[in-house]
Amino acid sequence: MPSATARVVLVTGVSRFLGARVAGALQAEPGIDRVIGVDTVPPTTPLGRTEFVRVDIRTPGIAKVISSERVDTVVHLNLVTSQIGPRPKMKELNVIGTMQLLAACQRSPDMRKLVVRSSAAVYGSSPRDPAVFAETDEPMEAPSSGYAKDVTEVEGYVRGLLRRRSDLTVSVLRFANFLGPDVDSPLTRYLRMPVVPTVLGFDPRLQFIHSGDGAEVVRRMTVEDHPGCYNVAGDGVLLLSQALRRAGRPSVPVPEASMQVFGDLGRRFAGLSGFSPELLRWLMYGRVIDCSKLAAELRWRPEHSAESAFTDFVRAAGGGHNPSLEVFDRLVGALGGRSPATTSHGRSGPRFGGPRAAPHENGAGR
């Protein structure tokens, strides 16, 4: 349903891929008077007529911006998905920053709408999970660490704000993993490793959302009124083995206990911050979410399926030989596994499917 009033929109995390895309889309909306983008670092790409303000949402400065600029719509996209430095810093950026932002929203008499980026990671990854998660489902094993725990806490604070400000229109978006030419995340770094390690005996079902479709969902939630919580993913699923074959990436199945060794090398060669417990569980059990509520509410479906989002990512990432392949080759030999040099793309070793294996590539998680 369309929103009736012109707005001053504040977008957090505007220096990152999603924030920049959303700000660009919103500034083209005729009903929006101003778009203000905030972040702790200046954007690396031009933001057009979006007004950039350098402010840390963990500080009282964010309340001053919301109050002085009479912001009535906040689009909160500033959640850190990959660990930078000590874990407490990541938690502070995500949880404490959100608390400060929501406190400012609660105090502002001009506030009318809040759109929050969350994650399907709130459902966790477990061998006891249902085949598909709907928004009303609870995780079988609640996330206990990392980014997944952060977004669970963030959603709790958002619900608290809504109890105190029932006049606000609040939309929470639980995104599947983002993929696209402009995305830098633990997942994209994992997929860019010279040899991609997989957990022996597991072939998880995965979903993706293209960054362009993610920005479009946020735009629609901002210019229209759709209160509630929504799962967001492209149609269909891919098995990890299928994804690696399509990417042309050599892979090697290793025991779960050996994955951290590869994570340490990933830190050196691909910028991966090791394998967090939540990423490791996702690479074992996967996760599929039901997005029928979003499709019915918006009367819209993402342009990119999981398959085409992955294809676009692969096209932008490129391929070819990486000299660090030999390092992984020697490591696998030291671990007693099969050499990637003799392992076919995506078909290395036995694949038992595990408790989350899917018999069909498409048709789930819509």
Sequence-ordered list of residues with C-beta below 8 angstroms from that of 201, at least 6 positions apart, any chain: 253, 350, 351, 352, 354
- Cα–Cα distance for residue pair 218/19, rounded to 1 Å: 10
pLDDT above 90 (res 2): no
Q: H helices within 201-358, ranges in order?
A: 211-223, 240-247, 259-269, 277-285, 292-298, 306-317, 325-335
> Please, what's the b/e burial string for 74-84 (b: 16 or more CB within 10 A of its CB; e: otherwise)?
bbbbbbbbbbe
pLDDT tens digits along 75-119: 999 998 765 556 678 888 899 999 999 999 999 999 999 999 999
Sequence-ordered list of residues with C-beta below 8 angstroms from that of 132, at least 6 positions apart, any chain: 288, 289, 290, 364, 365
The CA-atom distances, in angstroms, between 115 and each of 102, 111, 171, 261 are: 11, 12, 5, 39
- pLDDT for 108 equals 98
Helix (H) or strand (E) holding 199: strand 196-199
**Residue 10 φ/ψ region, left for φ over 0, alpha for ψ in the -120 to 50 degree band, beta for the rest:** beta
- Cα–Cα distance for residue pair 282/141, rounded to 1 Å: 13
- Cα–Cα distance for residue pair 249/193, rounded to 1 Å: 8
Q: What is the mean pLDDT of residues 4-24?
A: 90
- pLDDT for 290 equals 98
**Residue 267 φ/ψ region, left for φ over 0, alpha for ψ in the -120 to 50 degree band, beta for the rest:** alpha
pLDDT tens digits along 263-290: 665 555 555 556 778 888 999 999 999 9
- Cα–Cα distance for residue pair 189/145, rounded to 1 Å: 20
- Cα–Cα distance for residue pair 286/281, rounded to 1 Å: 7
- pLDDT for 277 equals 83
As a CATH number, domain 7-184+209-234 is 3.40.50.720
- Cα–Cα distance for residue pair 316/17, rounded to 1 Å: 15
- pLDDT for 274 equals 64
How many residues are present in the chain?
Answer: 366
pTM: 0.85
Residue 172 has phi, psi (to 5 degrees) of: -115, 125
| CA triple 148-112-230, angle to 5 deg | 35
- pLDDT for 131 equals 96
351 or 165, which is more confident? 165
Q: What is the mean pLDDT of residues 26-47?
A: 94
pLDDT tens digits along 154-199: 999 999 999 999 999 999 999 999 999 989 888 888 888 888 899 9
10: exposed, middle or buried (C-beta count within 10 Å: 0-12, 13-18, 19+)? buried
pLDDT above 60 (res 40): yes
Q: H helices within 108-171, ranges in order?
A: 146-164
pLDDT above 50 (res 333): yes
